[in-house]
Structure 1
């Protein structure tokens, strides 16, 4: 075989299977297996066992971006490359904390193949390559002009998809250029389109309870709701499509509400993307080639969080108001209906991403030597404009003060510091007009940007000297770079001018350099050793963070190509991101459940969000988060061992074991989990003197009455994470004579151990058996069977997601799976199927069905009746069966 360059080595070589296991997916496989995007393909790999935010999580910082979690590790732990160069970082932080790459910016039709290398790869690729490396290799040459068109639709409604692409290669003597473009659009899926999500859950652990769309409550612990509407909700019945009406919650009282408010949110957004990619080369001589790559990607996303966050409440300004006619302290709460907002499809939040990368370089041979060089410079930028829909604080408060509360009559008679009002209750229970709603709402504009400049020189020699087993290869790399990040939210988000919203803000830049060396040493004809080392140094704010890494691997072939035994040991690291270090102090407001005070009243965490009085359930609380300049780099050791068995031609069975030991991870503590942990510590369910309990208690600030005042969620270096996993893969291609050619594949991942120690001195948390901390899948299987015969082809692709914890189990912080109702959900199995036909020599047509059997997630009856989606959105979706028709035409002779 000719020497090739594979991901995971800088040295060209003839072996496809090396000491580093590599999973490769071609563009043909992507289409045959039913994946319309690179994101879908990566999320369905068996390695992608982790729970991640997605388009269903509209109330997040990155609802339009797509990412994946491998082996249950942080999404930022995988190094994403395009043609061996780092992708531009997405400008907005995933879950407000983590830097990710947006897979939306990869044009599927212009991809040649995708390669994934699990395990720490920092010795070649530097920071971030802890879980592994994904290298997306673009097409460098197209034999003839190709146009591809696809139309897709969803059997349950929504998500109609249109796609067209074009690619060609042009040659002018020594100059060659390959160019391609792709345009795609997808319509949204609304929660109202699915029976699972259109209304509150009626088959859960408690009776279905409607939203509290018109609610007046006091500070009492029970019977806290007032029904003060003289019309008993009669004026509201036209809201939420005619489903609004008088409702009752046992032990609390009456209010006006609808079971169908959840249908106003999107499950999948309205998306439009456009991509351009070009690759140009010029043969300067027989030994020197100049090259340049340019890509531009545009992504526009629209989504709606619906009525769940589009509301007004008097507590944010007044805490409580005193009504002398009631002689009581009360609050108002009102959700805005589709009729009042003019249709939620008209007030969707939006984002516009513009991402480009330019690379210029030269490669060739140094003189008459065997040394090859590749020198390049790259510049990349990713700009994002966010246009979230917002309620403006002063305008909305003034509107409801004038309409409902009336004039301020002075302080309350008990001297509690609350204002006195005589509200117009009839006005409160009267829907507002669309013009009124527009008077205190509108769009914000926030801008974010990342950029990077990289200069790189690589020298390789595949035959530096001869050894017993063949020629020794060597590679040397030198790299210098700088990068920056700037997130400038709309200033009104930072000054309290936006009701119920705030923002994370910050900016910073740094420079870095790295040197690396790799050796490939054939010690014997059967035994090859590979070794590499790298040194990285980051200069940030006048100080330098440096990290050396190394790797050693062995390949042993005792029986030629029949059996390969392989092993590898290496180190990896992840430098603190610019966002980790430079995020400014950012406050936000949340409406958490005060589990501790609810527990003192006798409400278990499982029912606190339903039954606990409003005083401790949903009252606004200030949160504070910020970067931490004292963060240390994350470091990791990783080793793997496995074998590849090839008993016959075109068959391979691989089994590999991986181990990670990751230290000093950067994380931000989840607010709800922090509150649950504080409760368990204060109640003695956890050791209150432990470091993690002391940390939790110090970050939950309570006033003199023991009520929540502030929640602090800073970034911290957690102590340790240990992960063991095994992967099995099988590939076979065989001919069945006149029946055609068959290609079965299988890839299976089993997480054997995953544990984490939050702080030094804490006991380890078993993440596989502690659903409070993790809902990741333990096992995942992906399998396919492809058939080809003449002009016909077909593929059946299966994904099996293993068991996962039910909702009730995720609430138990101290002793999981011990309380009634806690348990696991069965495995989820989905199928994709495709059929292709070639009616003409230049024309291919295909019909693709995703989720062939229309499989819905396992039913989780442990969700309460207040739930709007009775399944874990991080693990499952209810998109259902989709259909696509695709045609590809190749021009030319």
Structure 2
């Protein structure tokens, strides 16, 4: 069967067919579905039966997803409006994503402000035929990025008449109400030569707000320390270890109406009094709201019996809304002045003032939501034909992704001028390099009008775009010559194209390189633009040496012309299949993989970011040591960081191999076990700011440096001012890091006929990361990401194991499925923050959070041949990570590991599918 313009499995075969089909992980048609590389297939029926609501939901609940992810729950991340996924705890950018076998468009914004990845949000789940997940290094067939594996989302090529799907849903805890409708149909000409299929999916979803969940509507009330209110109006005394001065003559009486009447006089032990609220964490979104429309079309035209033309189009329009919440909606003097000197108090002070829904006016925080406008398309045009024993497929694909981020901002000069006019008054000189003010403190402890708030706030747009043009030709001969085990096969692929990335923020977001100041208060951005040409040649040779033994060889050469130089990389693999009997397959593969420097790695300009970490050095001046900094003044110190691209970067390289078996002793039973190993070198890495500050502390205090940065780098990359305050942290991109990873996966499928009671179907998948280490810089000791509690969090919160299982019961017109998803144990908060398994405080101990399992239930009833009615209950037991809150302090606004767990709770969906074609 000729390859339909794709590099992975196409329509036209199943496990019992004797005709040759193109299977996942190979370019050459063959009769065996299982080969030397394991493949997980999630069908459209699986997606519906297990209650998955989106393609992102499918992949994020996969047993391969053992690492934590940033997204809608991770407030103030660079890509809070996007949805990512990965495999085996490796970065999302290490997985190659395909739609119908063709690479997806990269998301223009950068994951964690640094890395290129794919946003998997805009794919119409109702139009998916199946999703194929191919784990392990696959660069010898698919090129750059295929280090962790490949995911191919295959959309429908044909439908049996007009089909309409309606789904409405809600969460039992509130928020997240959604409605989805999809329509698809197919047409054929009278002579059968022209075949068209088209579909459209529309979805709208409300956000989930923090105040709609008990764990996030307030500061942690279940923690090992007493809950502490937010510091909404506070005067911080830098002359007395950052304790508080309370200078409000009205004792907060003028602001008690703010935050829905929860503002009041508060006290923090050891610090002092201030005005604050326990309810401010609720004013953020936990799940993004969105309106999305996707349109998909597929068509073929048979020129004659040997030649067929084909085309695909997928376009997506998606608007996503979110806010990081009140913790990021404030003003303070520290950003501009560091401190100011008040001669009346004879102290160096800072003011900090949060803005409330009443200050904003209107609908409060709903009026300052950020909006990401996503516009993307993928179009493919091509033709394929057979010429004797040879099949030729030539196709052109163009992808484009445009993103406009409309961000709410505070304008620096207007907001500072407002508080100069209303609170600080004129500058009266300088003291020790700091400005002198005599503020009107009574005016500071006052609400403001919405018109005043509007005078220094607004929205700015950041526009970005990626494009990818690819011309691809594949020549295949499945019967090149005869061998004792069957016909040898050969495939040769030649492709070339161009890629472009452009990220252009509003110029006001960028810092002046000399003063480090920008026109936007408290917010910065990445920036950059670049393009490259690329070309590749791929070949695969399948050799059935004798009936039980088949060897497959593949090789690929990739070259990228970028920034005036050529970066190239050859890769290869050797796969072995051995079948001593038809029901048992031993398989293995060794190969090399790589990831070319991304356009953002190469062309990112000097870009900024804001973050906060423990300033270990300044804490040491107060007598605190790492792991015991809760009461340190600088335990959570905000800083300005910078990063930039590097045109001299080289490809990331990896050696990857797998070995395993598949056993199918009966037609209705199959199982597999596979072992994987990665050795990844020359990774493009940016040292975490926490590790950098820890190294700097060791170096400045003359201790043995056990952190992951040399003293030379730590002292050069952390810039401090005259008073030891952090002015800047610089984290350049360099080829320095190494990773080693070992994992084992297992799967089991069993179908049991129980006579008049119908049939039962069981499916299960399991992943166990046996070893995972990272060496951030040459000469460093490897960091154990599976057993070192501190680094398990720093590197995106790993779970060592993950599993899923489903049990379906079909009888007559009814089908019921129970689906379970299990996250293995992970280190708790005290283990992470102390970096030890022995730490204890407030009656809570460092250790592990227990495995975490959620359950979905679906009930389907075929009312007629055309109508299916469904009830889907996801997280049926309303599981929440509530036990985790006990291990967090009362100062926490997010007392759960939001990289791996969510607090959405139970959701219920009603669905009707009407197929007019049946």
Structure 2 residue matching 1:235: 3-state secondary structure:
coil
Which of 381, 394, 406 lines up with 2:425 in the alignment? Answer: 406
Q: Where in structure 2 are the equivalents of 1:348-387 lying within 5 Å?
A: 348-366=369-387, 369-387=388-406
Counterpart in the other structure of 2:631: 611
Residues 316, 620 of structure 1: 8 Å contact kept: no
Question: Is 2:365 the partner of 1:344?
Answer: yes
Counterpart in the other structure of 2:853: 829
Counterpart in the other structure of 2:697: 679
Question: Is 2:879 the partner of 1:855?
Answer: yes
Question: Is 2:766 the partner of 1:766?
Answer: no
Which of 622, 647, 656 lines up with 1:629 in the alignment? Answer: 647
Which of 665, 669, 672 lines up with 1:651 in the alignment? Answer: 669
Q: CA deviation at 1:674?
A: 2.5
Q: CA deviation at 1:287?
A: 0.4
Residues 223, 251 of structure 1: 8 Å contact kept: no
Distance 1:322 1:706, change over 3 A: closer
Residues 215, 882 of structure 2: 8 Å contact kept: no
Which of 451, 456, 475 lines up with 1:435 in the alignment? Answer: 451
Which of 574, 577, 582 lines up with 1:552 in the alignment? Answer: 574
Counterpart in the other structure of 1:786: 808
Residues 36, 576 of structure 2: 8 Å contact kept: yes
Q: Where in structure 2 are the equivalents of 1:192-207 lying within 5 Å?
A: 192-207=211-226
Question: Is 2:71 the partner of 1:73?
Answer: no
CA distance in 2, matches of 1:717, 1:201: 41
Counterpart in the other structure of 2:679: 661
CA distance in 2, matches of 1:89, 1:155: 35
Alpha-carbon displacement from aligned partner over 1:549-592 (angstroms, at most 9, x marks no partner): 000111111011x2111111010000000000100012344444
Which of 587, 598, 606 lines up with 1:566 in the alignment? Answer: 587
CA distance in 1, matches of 2:788, 2:702: 19
CA distance in 1, matches of 2:107, 2:269: 47
Question: Is 2:565 the partner of 1:543?
Answer: yes
Counterpart in the other structure of 2:202: 183
Residues 686, 693 of structure 1: 8 Å contact kept: no
Question: Is 2:23 the partner of 1:6?
Answer: yes
Stretches of structure 1 that go unaligned for 5 or more consecutive residues are none
Which of 325, 333, 337 lines up with 2:344 in the alignment? Answer: 325
Alpha-carbon displacement from aligned partner over 1:856-893 (angstroms, at most 9, x marks no partner): 11522231211001001101110000000000001135
Q: CA deviation at 1:304?
A: 0.9
Question: Is 2:861 the partner of 1:840?
Answer: no
Question: Is 2:599 the partner of 1:578?
Answer: yes
Q: CA deviation at 1:17?
A: 0.6
CA distance in 1, matches of 2:698, 2:231: 29
Counterpart in the other structure of 1:447: 463
Counterpart in the other structure of 1:53: 70
Q: Using the TM superposition, name which of 236-245 and 842-851 deviates more.
A: 236-245
Q: CA deviation at 1:339?
A: 1.2
Which of 500, 508, 522 lines up with 1:500 in the alignment? Answer: 522
Which of 784, 799, 808 lines up with 1:777 in the alignment? Answer: 799
CA distance in 1, matches of 2:608, 2:914: 54
Counterpart in the other structure of 2:167: 150
Residues 303, 348 of structure 1: 8 Å contact kept: yes
Counterpart in the other structure of 2:308: 289
CA distance in 1, matches of 2:54, 2:244: 49
Residues 695, 708 of structure 2: 8 Å contact kept: no
Q: TM-score, normalised by structure 1?
A: 0.97
Structure 2 residue matching 1:103: 3-state secondary structure:
coil
Distance 1:772 1:689, change over 3 A: closer
Residues 769, 816 of structure 1: 8 Å contact kept: no
Residues 695, 706 of structure 2: 8 Å contact kept: no
Q: Where in structure 2 are the equivalents of 1:380-395 lying within 5 Å?
A: 380-395=399-414
Counterpart in the other structure of 2:907: 882
Question: Is 2:323 the partner of 1:268?
Answer: no
Which of 491, 495, 499 lines up with 1:479 in the alignment? Answer: 495
Q: Using the TM superposition, name which of 690-699 and 372-381 deviates more.
A: 690-699
Q: TM-score, normalised by structure 2?
A: 0.94
Question: Is 2:131 the partner of 1:114?
Answer: yes
Residues 781, 800 of structure 1: 8 Å contact kept: yes
Counterpart in the other structure of 1:419: 435
Alpha-carbon displacement from aligned partner over 1:2-57 (angstroms, at most 9, x marks no partner): 21112211111111110010000001100110101010001111111011102111
Counterpart in the other structure of 2:297: 278
Distance 1:222 1:702, change over 3 A: closer
Counterpart in the other structure of 1:464: 480
Alpha-carbon displacement from aligned partner over 1:637-668 (angstroms, at most 9, x marks no partner): 11111011111112101010001100011122
Structure 2 residue matching 1:885: 3-state secondary structure:
strand
Residues 682, 688 of structure 1: 8 Å contact kept: no
Alpha-carbon displacement from aligned partner over 1:579-613 (angstroms, at most 9, x marks no partner): 001000123444443122113313344563x5222
Counterpart in the other structure of 2:769: 751
CA distance in 2, matches of 1:75, 1:602: 40
Counterpart in the other structure of 1:810: 832
Stretches of structure 2 that go unaligned for 5 or more consecutive residues are 1-17, 512-517
Distance 1:498 1:690, change over 3 A: closer
CA distance in 1, matches of 2:306, 2:199: 28
Q: CA deviation at 1:693?
A: 4.6
Counterpart in the other structure of 1:131: 148
Distance 1:47 1:440, change over 3 A: same
CA distance in 1, matches of 2:685, 2:450: 42
CA distance in 1, matches of 2:710, 2:477: 52
Alpha-carbon displacement from aligned partner over 1:295-353 (angstroms, at most 9, x marks no partner): 10011100011110100001222222222222222111000011111210111011100
CA distance in 2, matches of 1:169, 1:777: 44
Which of 104, 107, 114 lines up with 1:97 in the alignment? Answer: 114
Counterpart in the other structure of 2:182: 165
Structure 2 residue matching 1:558: 3-state secondary structure:
strand
Question: Is 2:40 the partner of 1:36?
Answer: no
Question: Is 2:744 the partner of 1:726?
Answer: yes
CA distance in 2, matches of 1:321, 1:720: 45
Distance 1:761 1:618, change over 3 A: closer
Residues 605, 811 of structure 1: 8 Å contact kept: no
Q: CA deviation at 1:671?
A: 2.1
Residues 717, 730 of structure 2: 8 Å contact kept: yes
Alpha-carbon displacement from aligned partner over 1:85-125 (angstroms, at most 9, x marks no partner): 10000000000111111111110011100001100000110
CA distance in 1, matches of 2:877, 2:631: 38
Question: Is 2:617 the partner of 1:596?
Answer: yes
Distance 1:619 1:332, change over 3 A: farther
Residues 64, 351 of structure 1: 8 Å contact kept: yes
Question: Is 2:236 the partner of 1:217?
Answer: yes
Alpha-carbon displacement from aligned partner over 1:358-405 (angstroms, at most 9, x marks no partner): 110001102xx1100110011110000000100001111111111111
Residues 657, 725 of structure 1: 8 Å contact kept: yes
Counterpart in the other structure of 2:9: none
Q: CA deviation at 1:547?
A: 0.5
**Alpha-carbon RMSD:** 1.6
Q: Using the TM superposition, name which of 429-438 and 382-391 deviates more.
A: 429-438
CA distance in 1, matches of 2:628, 2:230: 16
Question: Is 2:538 the partner of 1:516?
Answer: yes
